[in-house]
Structure 1
Amino acid sequence: MLTCPKSGAGVQWGDLLKSGCRIFIGSNAAVPNALVADLIEHSHGLHDIEVTHILTLSDNVWATPRYRDLFKVNSLFIGGANVREAIAEGRADYTPCFLSEIPSLFREKILPLDVALVMVSPPDEFGYCSLGVSVDVVSAAVRFARRVVAQVNPRMPRTSGHSFVHTDQIDAWLEEAEELPELPPAELDQVTEQIGQYVSLLVDNGATLQLGIGKIPDAVLRYLGNHRDLGVHSEMISDGIIDLMKSGVINNRKKTFHRGKAVTTFCMGTRRLYDFVDGNPHVEFYPAEHTNSPTRIARNDKMVSINGAIEVDLTGQVVSDSIGRRFYSGIGGQVDFIRGAALSRGGKPIIALPSTTRDGKRSRIVTTLTPGGGVVTSRGHVHYVVTEYGIAWLHGKSIRERALELIRIAHPKFRRELLEEVRNFYWVPEYQEQAPTSVPELGPVESKKFTFDGIEYTLRPLRPADERRLQEFFYTHNKETLLMRYNHHVTQMSREKSCSLVSVDQRRDLALCFTDRQGQAEVIQGVGRYYYNPADNSCEVAFVIKESRRGKGIATALLEEMEEIARSRGIDRMMAYVRRDNRPMLAVFENRGFSARLGEDAEELILELDLQRGEDS
């Protein structure tokens, strides 16, 4: 029975509601199911009540056909089968909105609320209840609704931060214990694990994290165990942060906004998570208009935002709220955090998704979006896209470069098809013929880290989208370097030539580069390649290092890696042709055990290494 917190007198639903009113139902794991059941039981004479809410971890009984005369749903974020089906059948509405702006819909009376139905913890000695695991837009609903009706649940944690509601803000309540719904950690498959590993490479020590819902964020957290001084400023948190906080990996010390605190607006997980946040002063819950404000998010340096997608087209448009014309979820906080991370100093907005649909029959990297697909994040917002096949960096890239980067991380069986399709739109020139290929010998993330002279470098394959980078690398060389590398004075590296040098079938030949970061830009500092000769199962190797980076070990590391890859591929011999006056290059080969003999040109030496005799030999 509903009672008044002030007087203890009984309250009837008819005193709070009338037909045609709009009610709000609490969010995520804090759905007041007992209140909803009580309203339904005592709804005689009530009709056409509009129900608005975001994600609700519930059976969503109010959205079933049985109660279509009593309730009309207007969901601001779609979750749960009953709500999704009601929207698909036209019995319910979906109103797209950024999570950060939903409170303003209530405040500005665009969606005026008559009654907010929420779940709270029992009041403390000062009369304050806690909104517990779901502050998000519930806080705004409590502030701006004409009436507030609460389910007082002793199983609701008391969370820290701006999560408190005084009893004088509550018009009626129902005291009923209810276990919070649990969202167990998902079983991770190989694809998800690989995506998590790639994303973790983008997380620097001292970064602040935002993680969305699902398997991929869980996988990312699994690969952060060796990081240091991470922070959390997120729309939601799940079980994955518990052990990282207990181990000190997440300690929030390096945060530049809310230093020392993990900040969120709601949490969903197991009872272990709910117990972890209960009374925990190190985790603070704030309203969505605070946590999801892009300008506040950006106050965290090195802000890393990780969100999912349904599909991404080759220009970088991200579909997240619908599968074609069938609405599936909502805008939520994706754009809030993508924009906030982009504005952050050293920030990284990331979209992560599997390369194919579950059955593997359709690529989720597409040339043309599925008709009706909703673009939640625009091509202008996207910086990084990650699949199980790698990381595509799109920020500052042309449409052509974006297309090549995204084809590279598409599933291999779709790459040739995507390259042919995209040519119809003139995003890729006719001389770009080779679809991207992989170098699995470099490890599961196709890259290795090296440090030379205190500078961190990445060794990775050259890629089709490196065309412009390779041109820039070429034009840094002086005349002597060009003569030593090409044995004549080369003066131009055209787009066509650069394209041919980066568009390599890495399964046959090999093209690697050493890069470093200058600000957010990746710069090529060294290139090594070999060309395979099937006639005698040999390969010819060559490499060039930027003049300012020579003598630091880059050339030797390049040669070692190419030797190892060639050896693992069963190649018998490695050959090189080097000018006799190129003493530094000759020294690199001689130190690796290459034998030298005169070539037909007296100015040139032929160097040779028997790969199958073993490195020690």
Structure 2
Amino acid sequence: MADEAPLYRSNPARSVAPDGQLLVQGKPVQWPQLIKSGQRIFIGSHAAVPHALIRNLLAHCKYLHDVEIVQVGAFGDNAWAETTYQNHFKVNSLFIGGEQVRRAVAEGRADYTPTFMSAVPSLFLDDILPLDAALIMVSPADQHGYHSLGVSVDVVSAALRAAKTVIAQVNPAMPVTFGQAFIHKGQIDAFYYANEPLLELPPPNFDPITERVGQYVALLVEDGATIQIGFGKVCEAALRYLSNHRDLGVHSELITDGIMDLMLKGVVNNRLKTFHQHKCVTSFAIGTQRLYDYVNHNPHIGFYPSEYVNSPANIARNDQMVSINSAIEVDLTGQVVSDSIGYQFYSGIGGQVDFSRGASMSTGGKPIIALPSTAKDGTISRIVPHITEGAGVVTSRAHVHYVVTEFGVASLRGKSIRERALELIRVAHPKFRAELLAEVRKHYYVPNYQKQTPVEVPELGDVGFKELNIGGEAFDLRPLNPSDERRLQEFFYSHTKETLQMRYNSVPTQMSREKSCTLVSVDQSKDLALCIVRQKGSAAQIQAVGRYYLSHDGSNCEVAFVTRETHQGKGMAKLLLDEMIRIAKLRGVQKMLAYVRAENQKMLAVFERAGFRRLPADEPGEVYLALELGNTLSEKQ
């Protein structure tokens, strides 16, 4: 969770009853009978903060001193963290969720305790943070005497089990949710009846950059996957672009309006889940009144405690588990900062590590970190050579498989430090790439011959690649880029002598790292180097490469391509050639040239079917071909 602070709103359509009385066994009591100076109390979390109950406490807190308030994200007015109450209360936040708490932490008036969300319950139950009281919000009791914890079961469930005294605001506006969301009235020591609307979080407005990040994230999610989302605009944007997916499941600490919309469209139906099949599993909900109405008495959504939902072992029981979280910055080794901006603590660890770890353990799982490439109106890069002084790593290098920005997807799993740096520079903002490469050379052993060149081919469309289906197999057609250095070496060494002879007119025996680096470090704004790749998760293998070299005056280009032997004759060369012809035309190139060995009849056929004409050749045994780009078969078709 690393996006900007949210804007909350109350629902003016619902009336707010005046504050009532604290009741124990139906009789009025005063706060000194329940809470004493020096104690530690927990307050309910997220959209289930018992604000009316807390307002009543604040109005009668003059007798209290040095009470520690333990909380996670508490939506709305966190007045207890203001200087007015600093002699009465001190906040210990396990996740910083509001500006008032953030300011108090920065000024030293409040504490921040970093912890995984899955580990928060054990802090209470193991008496590491023993609780004297828990202030929570519940729905009215049903005919069996059970109240529901509603939209926040999360760590509230553990707090009420650990606390010596449970004080509950009974709120008719609280939805009744299922799962492990119930508490019997006999477990509650004091009651406070107050009707107040839950705070709402309006759906975010998406800018083009956020939308593009969301598009790239959605491309990584396969039909039938189970998803988790973190908090913020980037994660919500990803949900928007999942609308055309099928049979998705949800196992997520948080659900929002975006999840609800996918359920209503039938995109999320949970039918292929391998853990809690047919049920959306969550621990808390944040959104609009529409969402709160949707979860009310909804048997298809189960609310469970954080130690259950956020357990990496439970998360991993979902095949194809995809975790989608955001960050403040990512360094070139893949370290993720998401709870602090330099020395300023901003949010918390939350569930990011829990779900990144769980997704990485899942069969076919994908842990994703998604963020815009820049901050502060594009003036600073969020892909950085080293983490900012004072900042802390939340998610380690080994936890993240993918980092996504508006410039594409960096695949980190199984990559060396050098390869990670090149992948991440590729998805950084272009104006920072040269600087990042210069910095990484100082520390991460990227060689001096490694160049920084434009890697985008805008003619391939918004996402920068094309999905292909060849013989029932899925492939991607995309540009070669600097991080393909090792893949191109492997591609070269897969060739037979015959293929090398046909392509290079000789039989080279070595493709050095330096040579491979030169071949993948292509200025794609001038020359063109495309490849067809079989991509399965983080595993990628080049199947075919096509490239053209532009002449000095830009009027013509020389084209060549080579295909892995196992895929020769399947049309890959034709697909590459057609794409290169299309791009060359768009760029105003007038003529394409090719030199092919006379005995390479299959290659000659590919060129001639595309409209190339044979011309006299200077070298015996070689065929010279040319294509006038203003008059091709492709254009006529």
Q: Which amino acid aligns with 2:313?
A: T
TM-score where L is the length of structure 2: 0.95
| Conserved? CA contact 2:554–2:589, under 8 Å | no
Cα distance in 2 for partners of 1:535, 1:296 equals: 61
Cα distance in 1 for partners of 2:139, 2:191 equals: 11
Q: Which secondary structure state, in structure 2, belongs to the residue aligned with residue 184 of structure 1?
A: coil
Q: Which secondary structure state, in structure 2, belongs to the residue aligned with residue 596 of structure 1?
A: strand
In the alignment, is residue 223 of structure 1 matched against residue 241 of structure 2?
Answer: yes
Q: Which secondary structure state, in structure 1, belongs to the residue aligned with residue 413 of structure 2?
A: coil
Aligned counterpart, 2:90: 72
In the alignment, is residue 522 of structure 1 matched against residue 548 of structure 2?
Answer: no
1:70-103 deviation line (CA, Å, top 9, x unaligned): 1000000001111000000000000000000000
User: Identity across aligned pairs (percent)?
Assistant: 62
In the alignment, is residue 179 of structure 1 matched against residue 186 of structure 2?
Answer: no
Aligned counterpart, 1:363: 381
In the alignment, is residue 616 of structure 1 matched against residue 631 of structure 2?
Answer: no
Q: Which amino acid aligns with 1:251?
A: N
| Conserved? CA contact 1:346–1:520, under 8 Å | no
Q: How far has the Cα of 1:616 moved from its partner?
A: 3.2
Aligned counterpart, 2:614: 596
Q: Which amino acid aligns with 1:96?
A: P
| Conserved? CA contact 1:407–1:436, under 8 Å | no
Q: Which secondary structure state, in structure 2, belongs to the residue aligned with residue 227 of structure 1?
A: coil
Cα distance in 1 for partners of 2:148, 2:635 equals: 68
Cα distance in 2 for partners of 1:443, 1:259 equals: 37
1:262-306 deviation line (CA, Å, top 9, x unaligned): 111001000000001001111110000000000000000000000
Cα distance in 2 for partners of 1:613, 1:598 equals: 20
Q: How far has the Cα of 1:468 moved from its partner?
A: 0.4
Q: Which amino acid aligns with 1:318?
A: V
Aligned counterpart, 2:10: none
In the alignment, is residue 126 of structure 1 matched against residue 144 of structure 2?
Answer: yes
Q: Which amino acid aligns with 2:629?
A: L
Which 5+ residue runs of structure 1 have no aligned equivalent?
Answer: none
Cα distance in 1 for partners of 2:309, 2:517 equals: 44
Aligned counterpart, 2:12: none
Which residue of 288, 291, 308 corresponds with 2:326?
308
Where do 1:570-609 residues align within 5 Å? 570-609=588-627
Cα distance change of structure 1 residues 368 and 536 upon mapping to structure 2, 3 Å threshold? closer
Aligned counterpart, 1:92: 110
Cα distance in 2 for partners of 1:560, 1:10 equals: 82
Q: Which secondary structure state, in structure 1, belongs to the residue aligned with residue 380 of structure 2?
A: coil
1:573-609 deviation line (CA, Å, top 9, x unaligned): 1111100100110111111111112311111111111
Cα distance in 2 for partners of 1:45, 1:250 equals: 51
Cα distance change of structure 1 residues 426 and 231 upon mapping to structure 2, 3 Å threshold? closer
Q: Which secondary structure state, in structure 2, belongs to the residue aligned with residue 612 of structure 1?
A: coil
| Conserved? CA contact 1:598–1:604, under 8 Å | no
1:45-82 deviation line (CA, Å, top 9, x unaligned): 21110001000111100000000011000000001111
Cα distance in 2 for partners of 1:445, 1:517 equals: 15
Which residue of 444, 449, 463 corresponds with 2:467?
449
Q: Which secondary structure state, in structure 2, belongs to the residue aligned with residue 165 of structure 1?
A: strand
In the alignment, is residue 376 of structure 1 matched against residue 413 of structure 2?
Answer: no
Which residue of 31, 39, 42 corresponds with 2:60?
42
Q: How far has the Cα of 1:3 moved from its partner?
A: 4.2
In the alignment, is residue 20 of structure 1 matched against residue 42 of structure 2?
Answer: no
Q: How far has the Cα of 1:518 moved from its partner?
A: 5.2
In the alignment, is residue 464 of structure 1 matched against residue 469 of structure 2?
Answer: no
Aligned counterpart, 2:512: 494
| Conserved? CA contact 2:489–2:511, under 8 Å | yes
Cα distance in 2 for partners of 1:251, 1:179 equals: 29
| Conserved? CA contact 2:453–2:524, under 8 Å | no
| Conserved? CA contact 1:27–1:57, under 8 Å | yes
Cα distance change of structure 1 residues 157 and 521 upon mapping to structure 2, 3 Å threshold? same
Aligned counterpart, 1:440: 458
1:214-244 deviation line (CA, Å, top 9, x unaligned): 1111111111111110000001010012221
In the alignment, is residue 412 of structure 1 matched against residue 427 of structure 2?
Answer: no
Aligned counterpart, 1:201: 219
Aligned counterpart, 2:14: none
TM-score where L is the length of structure 1: 0.99
Aligned counterpart, 1:83: 101
Q: Which amino acid aligns with 2:635?
A: D
Q: Which amino acid aligns with 1:105?
A: L
Q: How far has the Cα of 1:248 moved from its partner?
A: 1.1
Cα distance in 1 for partners of 2:266, 2:574 equals: 38
Q: Tell me how many residue pairs correspond in the alignment.
A: 616
Cα distance in 1 for partners of 2:425, 2:556 equals: 30
Which residue of 154, 175, 178 corresponds with 1:157?
175
Aligned counterpart, 2:527: 509
1:461-486 deviation line (CA, Å, top 9, x unaligned): 11101100000010110000000000
Cα distance in 2 for partners of 1:144, 1:59 equals: 26
| Conserved? CA contact 1:403–1:427, under 8 Å | no
Aligned counterpart, 1:31: 49
| Conserved? CA contact 2:356–2:400, under 8 Å | yes
Structure 1 segments, 4+ long, off by >3 Å, are 1-5, 517-520, 614-617
Cα distance in 1 for partners of 2:592, 2:111 equals: 66
Q: Which amino acid aligns with 1:457?
A: F
Q: Which amino acid aligns with 1:191?
A: I
Q: How far has the Cα of 1:425 moved from its partner?
A: 1.4
Q: Which secondary structure state, in structure 1, belongs to the residue aligned with residue 394 of structure 2?
A: strand
Cα distance in 1 for partners of 2:566, 2:617 equals: 30
Cα distance change of structure 1 residues 536 and 177 upon mapping to structure 2, 3 Å threshold? closer
Cα distance in 2 for partners of 1:210, 1:234 equals: 4
Q: Which secondary structure state, in structure 2, belongs to the residue aligned with residue 497 of structure 1?
A: helix
Q: Which amino acid aligns with 2:628?
A: D
Q: How far has the Cα of 1:535 moved from its partner?
A: 2.8
In the alignment, is residue 478 of structure 1 matched against residue 496 of structure 2?
Answer: yes
Q: Which secondary structure state, in structure 1, belongs to the residue aligned with residue 443 of structure 2?
A: coil
Which residue of 132, 141, 147 corresponds with 1:114?
132
Q: Which amino acid aligns with 1:442?
A: L
1:308-335 deviation line (CA, Å, top 9, x unaligned): 0000000001000000000000000000
Q: Which amino acid aligns with 1:224?
A: L
Aligned counterpart, 2:5: none
Cα distance in 2 for partners of 1:465, 1:542 equals: 22
Cα distance in 2 for partners of 1:616, 1:92 equals: 69
Which residue of 557, 561, 577 corresponds with 1:539?
557
| Conserved? CA contact 2:41–2:68, under 8 Å | yes
Q: How far has the Cα of 1:427 moved from its partner?
A: 2.4
Which one scores higher on RCO, CA 8 angstroms, separation ≥ 6?
Answer: 2
In the alignment, is residue 562 of structure 1 matched against residue 580 of structure 2?
Answer: yes
Which residue of 236, 251, 266 corresponds with 2:269?
251
Which residue of 339, 354, 362 corresponds with 1:336?
354
Cα distance change of structure 1 residues 412 and 518 upon mapping to structure 2, 3 Å threshold? closer
1:522-564 deviation line (CA, Å, top 9, x unaligned): 1111111111113361111110000111111111111111111
Q: How far has the Cα of 1:517 moved from its partner?
A: 3.2
Q: Which secondary structure state, in structure 2, belongs to the residue aligned with residue 377 of structure 1?
A: coil
